[in-house]
Every structure is written in C-alpha cells, then in structure tokens.
Amino acid sequence: MTRVPLTLACGDYDRTWPLADGRVRPEGIDLNLITLEPEECFWRMLGNAEFDAAEMSLSSYAIAHARGDDRFVGVPVFLSRSFRHSTLYVRKDSDITDARDLAGKRIGVPEYQMTAAVWARALLHHDFDVDTTGIVWCTGGLEEPGRVERQALELPDWVRIEHVGNTLSQALLDGSIDALMAPRVPSVFRSGDQVRRLWPDYAAREVEYYTRTGIFPIMHMLVVRADVDRAHPWVARSLYKAFTEAKRFALSGAADKPALRYTMPFLLDALERQQEVFGADPWPYGLDANRTALDTFAGYLAEQGLVAAPPDMTELFAPATRADSRI
C-alpha cells in the first residue's frame, strides 16, 4: 500500500519526539515532521495554509471556524496546555499586589485573541471578580516590536485595544503599561532586577484551580487541511492514534530510566506530585476527556467579544476523531 506523504509542523515536545525519531509511525502516512516555534507555526498555517497539518492556537482556530473559515479540520490532540497564574508580571516598585488592583489598568499582551490571554482574562474575571471591560489591552511583540494579531478581529466597542510601538518588556519597564500578561517568561523578569510576578505562589494557586474546576487549560491543538481530510478521511484518525501513542512513550519514559532523562534534579518528586494531582495521564487527548475545558473556553470567547456566541466545540473536530472505537 502506498503511504500518503504528509508534512506536519509543530513544536519540539517530548510528546512529539517519538514521531520525529520514527519510534511511532502513523498508519498509512509517510510523515515529514517540521519543528517550529508555535508563533511561526500558527502564523504560516493560518495565513497561507502552508502545511498538510499543523499545531494551531485553540482560540485562533475556533474564531476562524466561527466566522466560516473552513480550510481546516481539528484533531483532538492538545499539544500545549498551561495554567496561567504564572503569566502576570508587574514592576517591583508597583503598588499592584492583587488581581483586583488590575481593574482599569493598562495590561500588555502580545495578541488580544491568543489562547493564553483568553484563559488569563477569564481567570481575572471569574476567580477574582475583576471588571476586565475597563482594562486597556496593549498589544505588541514581547521581545521584538511589530507583532500584530495573526488574524483580523471584529470586536465590540467595549473592548479597548492599543498597539505599542516598542516591546512589551520595555513598555513595562518604562511605565507605559501597568502589567504584562506573557505566555513566555519575559527577559525583564529573567534579569531579576525590576520585575516580579503578581503571584509568586502561582504553583499552589494552579493546583487549587485544577482541584476546584477539573480544568487544565488547553492552549494548542492539531489541525489538518480540509482538502487533505476530504482526499483521505482516515488521516485525522491515524494522526490522532499516532500522537496518542507518542504521548504514551513520553509519559512512560519520563521516570523509568537508571539516570535522570531530563536536566531536572527534582524530577522524580515533581512526577510523583503530578500524579497525586492529575492521576496517571495529566495530558488527555480526545474530545470526551476535554469537553469541560473546551465548552468553558467557548463561553470565554463569547464573553470577551471574540465571537458572537459560544461555538459548538464538537464541530471543530473531524467526525472521524469525535469518538473512540471499543473492543
């Protein structure tokens, strides 16, 4: 049987390494895996549909789909997940000490529509009762000027957005923004001199959030070009199975070595604490296992003016991937 050649772009993760090194081969597919930073991956796929399949921002895809963009079909493989309590930064000399102090402030964020920002704004509003409609969202590049929204937005008048000319890191230092919401750790924090996290105890807050809500926020998913899906309707399911197997390799191999596999001195302790909180699989794939997080996110998209009404998240995914077979 001739294997279908397929080029797939995604980030460099332990859960994708078995696909990159050939330990896992998707059924019927000759996979060419290209490793890119997520921002480049999203930009190129959303703008030009350059790849047969790619990692994609959950919010970008959901917004595009809600507006009738039918170029892609989703696969319930969630390549990136992250809590957002660690991503809020202020200057060390700021009088902002609590989330409620952010009401009415100017907060930097690379893009208003990015998934991390949607989850973080929802955290401020729902967990800390912050009126986020009074915040001015200042967008731009975290470390490089000139970043813009990766797709055009149609927002209600109450959403207040300004674009900054320099970098968000510099804007925080010079006081043109009051706080920064950054999915990457900003350079001005790494230097350790002038910037602090709003919540230094973010890890404990994240455990409390997960214990209370059952949600480990989804950031990125997998999409396949719709023309590929039409030509080969089995490809989405084949990729889903392969990524699931690759994740199994990552989870089983993290601690099962005579020497530490990762450069983390307290790896075993972290893995054992992780299992206490999440159980055997902290990173579930599949629609059913993630329905609460997906439906919650759909509500946040509408609440923040990014879509007119909460989208039916089931419709984002290829029909072949919406349920698993049973023996």
* pLDDT band (50, 70, 90) for residue 1: low
Percent of the chain scored above 70 by pLDDT? Answer: 100
> How many residues in total does the chain contain?
327
Is residue 244 scored above 90 in pLDDT?
A: yes
When the pLDDT of each residue in the chain is averaged and rounded to a whole number, the result is: 95
**Mean pLDDT, residues 25-32 taken together:** 98
Residue 259 has pLDDT above 90, yes or no: no
Tens-place pLDDT, residues 77-93: 999 999 999 999 999 99
Averaged pLDDT, 191-205: 94
Q: Kindly give, in sequence order, each residue whose CB lies less than 8 Å from that of residue 241, ignoring residues fewer than 6 positions away.
A: 26, 27
Given this model, what pLDDT does residue 260 score?
84
Percent of the chain having pLDDT more than 90?
Answer: 92
CB 124 within 8 A of CB 101: no
The domain limits of the chain are 4-82+217-321, 88-213
Q: Measured between alpha carbons, how far is residue 57 from residues 40, 64, 100, 162, 254 in Å? A: 11, 11, 28, 22, 26
What are the residues whose beta carbons fall under 8 Å from the beta carbon of 126, sequence distance 6 or more? none
Q: What is the mean pLDDT of residues 139-153?
A: 94
Q: Give the C-alpha separation, 227 to 70, whole Å.
A: 10
CATH number of 4-82+217-321: 3.40.190.10
Question: How far apart, in whole angstroms, are the C-alpha atoms of residue 26 and residue 265?
Answer: 34
Kindly report the pTM of this predicted structure.
0.96
User: Over 80: is that where the pLDDT of 257 sits?
Assistant: no
The reply to whether CATH 3.40.190.10 applies to domain 88-213 is: yes
Q: What is the pLDDT of residues 213-234, one digit of tens each?
A: 999 999 999 999 999 999 999 9
Instruction: Kindly report the backbone phi and psi dihedral angles of residue 8, in degrees, each rounded to the nearest multiple of 5, phi listed first.
Output: -125, 130
Looking at residue 33, its pLDDT comes to 98
The reply to whether 4-82+217-321 and 88-213 are identical in fold is yes
pLDDT at position 256 over 80: no
Asked if 138 contacts 164 with a C-beta cutoff of 8 angstroms, the reply is: yes
Give the confidence band of 261 by pLDDT, cuts at 50, 70, 90. Answer: confident
pLDDT band at 258 (very low <50, low <70, confident <90, very high): confident
Average of pLDDT values for 53-69?
Answer: 97
Average pLDDT over residues 98-109: 97
CB atoms within 10 A of CB 123: 22
Q: Provide φ and ψ at 219, rounded to 5°.
A: -110, -55
